[in-house]
Amino acid sequence: MNVNIRGENIEMTSSLQDYAEKKISKLEKYFNSPLTTDAHVNMRVHNKEQVIEVTIPMQGLLLRAEVGQDDMYAAIDLVVSKLERQIKKYKTKIYRKSRQDLRQARKAEHNSLAAVTTGTVDPDTKNNDDSLDVVRTKRFVMKPMTVEEAILQMGMLGHTFFVFKNALTGAINVVYSRKDGRYGLIDEEE
């Protein structure tokens, strides 16, 4: 893993840079193969607080953590701990759900085959309204994932919703956080 470190309003000493690289590189031990991605590290001083932000984009997963402390070395240790917890949580959930997801996938496949043979699907209709302005467009590859994986990814990103391709049905779905602390799923009607 290549570690890119950037400093704002802080003197980047070689010892600070080496310490950050050493600590963040240790995260590779949680993966089966060496990471080919870049870790983006931003260190800054904001209102007398030393802040470090680490972002590691990977295939199907985005790790991100930010910590502020009086000491940058302590902030580095804490941000690495946060990232380790995120990785462990993600891997544990995936491992626990793998058997259950396999059973659900088989059941969903059986149900979808039954639905295709008995029902009809109406063509999608689009409402084109040229008076609405799109101010930003995002494009990304949608890795097939389960609902639980999508909720984990949404939590790691700190978003209130997440669009994903459902591994069980193959459809594009949306999970979202509800005001009561639970989650909702938007699925297309067949």
Which ranges of 68-168 does DSSP label H, i.e. alpha helix?
72-118, 147-157
Separation between Cα atoms, residue 94 and residue 167, nearest integer Å? 13
Q: Which domains does the chain have, with CATH numbers?
A: 2-89 (3.30.160.100), 138-190 (3.30.505.50)
Separation between Cα atoms, residue 20 and residue 37, nearest integer Å? 16
Average pLDDT (166-185) is 91
pLDDT of residue 33: 74
| Tens-place pLDDT, residues 103-152 | 776 676 666 555 554 444 444 444 444 457 788 888 877 889 999 989 98
| Mean per-residue pLDDT of the chain | 81
For the chain, the C-alpha Rg in angstroms (whole number) is 21
Give the three-state DSSP class for 48: coil
Separation between Cα atoms, residue 20 and residue 7, nearest integer Å? 12
pLDDT of residue 74: 93
Max alpha carbon distance in the chain (Å)? 68
Of 39, 34, 38, 35, the closest CA to residue 52 belongs to: 39
pLDDT of residue 175: 94
Check whether 88 has a pLDDT greater than 80: yes
Separation between Cα atoms, residue 160 and residue 9, nearest integer Å? 32
| Tens-place pLDDT, residues 60-81 | 778 899 999 999 999 999 999 9
Separation between Cα atoms, residue 160 and residue 141, nearest integer Å? 20
pLDDT of residue 120: 44
More confident residue, 155 or 50: 50
